[in-house]
Amino acid sequence: MQVSGQADRAPSSAATALLSSASAPSERHVYDLRNGRNSSYAFSASLAAFADQTLAAIERRADPLLDGYIDHVRTFVAESPRSRGEYAVEFLALGMALSRYEGAADRTPRWIVEFARELTWARERSLTAKPLVDWVRAGTARYSLAANVGQKPRKRGSAVDRLTRLIDWMNSTGEFKQEVMRLNNWRSYLAALKPEKATCWLRIAVELFQDFRRDADTALGAYTRGVSAFIAREHAHWRWREDLLMCGRSAVEYHLNMLAAEVMNRGLRDSFVRTQERVVLLPACMRGSHSLTCKAYIDGVDITCAACDPDCAVNRITREMRAHGIRVYIVPHASGFSRWLSRWEHTGAGVTAVACVLNILAGGFEMRERGIASQCLVLDFPGCRKHWDPKGFPTAVNEARLVQIATAPRA
């Protein structure tokens, strides 16, 4: 799997025990929310303050745009209301997509984009063909799709044309499904504006993202110092990896996902505290050192802890949550997230999801799309074999904070 604040309050004695028992990160981690401390509470405080600063900056530059866009998605897209902060994050994500990927979208031949899109569809249609398809996708990503990421586009065109090329390219990669859905809404809104006005707003989106890049590096850069080292040490030598684009993302994209976690939690907090049934979703990478012999119970898409390893974080969290009447489920990988969410779409349950930071934005968008009252919490550091470490090791989360979020008093 992989999915992931609320003001901190003093943790209970049980939560404190959970906090102190969590495993320590490796120096080779791509990101580390503990940053040499015993917990990630300092990160949570820094993120909350930075979110306030960022949202205020977007309001100063884009207040009338947000008014118009919010009216558009509610009236013409018939979207259920979201918080203003979430729409501000969308606008920032638009600036990020233009800054990071428009050059690649412009420079990638059209036939490559269409071929990559067919591969993505084939991957989703056939599990049998998936290994071969992923091998071809890896080569396509390395030598075509990812070759010009971060480059400036050679041509511009109208705002709608630019977004159409960008959306087609992002859709072809298979890495931005939820982001593409949001960008389509922005394209439909900008298409209703005068061309020069739409172009102006794209420029402001890019400018806000550039400001965000600078400010986020100051506020959050200490937590992502491993990104550039990882890209130079590991990612630069990858050739046939279908996760090439995801794992090659820059530090600012981690920072944007961190911001999204904070802002989405704020926007969904009221609906979450009104839920009576609560569940917690944990990634399989949190299992202990005996994960290869994990005896978890499997019932359809549900995977639950069998308490086979007393030192396993999933076991520890399951016991704690059970005392609060909250069920805990394991999701083996991000690809299983959608299947697991479908069963909670119309139940009114509150979902607390723990995830690697790069899965937060897409996971939050999907839970919003499905109308699920949710909260998310970022893993303190990543460590799964599939993406981040050849050997793999148990990941960790601020377990005391997870208890605070998941057991929030019901309204």
Instruction: For the chain, give every domain's residue range.
Output: 13-40+274-406, 44-252
The average pLDDT across 374-403 equals 86
Coil, strand, or helix at residue 296? coil
Specify the range with the lowest mean pLDDT, choosing from 23-32, 106-115, 372-381.
23-32
Q: How confident is the model at residue 237 (pLDDT cuts 50, 70, 90)?
A: low
State residue 17's pLDDT score. 44
Q: Are the beta carbons of 140 and 115 closer than 8 angstroms?
A: yes
What percent of the chain stands above pLDDT 90? 56
Share in percent of the chain as helix, strand, coil (round to 5):
60, 10, 35
* Residues near 101 by beta carbon (within 8 Å), at least 6 away in sequence: 149, 166, 169, 170
240-294 pLDDT, tens digit per residue, is 676 777 778 899 999 999 999 999 999 999 999 999 999 999 998 898 777 788 9
Mark residue 302 as left, alpha or beta (left: phi above 0; alpha: psi -120 to 50; beta: remaining): beta
State residue 235's pLDDT score. 56
What CATH number is given for 13-40+274-406 in this structure? 3.40.50
Which segment, 111-120, 193-202, 283-292, is predicted with the most confidence on average?
193-202
* Residues near 63 by beta carbon (within 8 Å), at least 6 away in sequence: none
The average pLDDT across 228-246 equals 71
Tell me how far apart the alpha carbons of residues 121 and 286 are, in angstroms, rounded to a whole number.
30
14-70 pLDDT, tens digit per residue, is 444 444 344 444 456 889 999 888 889 999 999 999 999 999 999 999 999 999 999
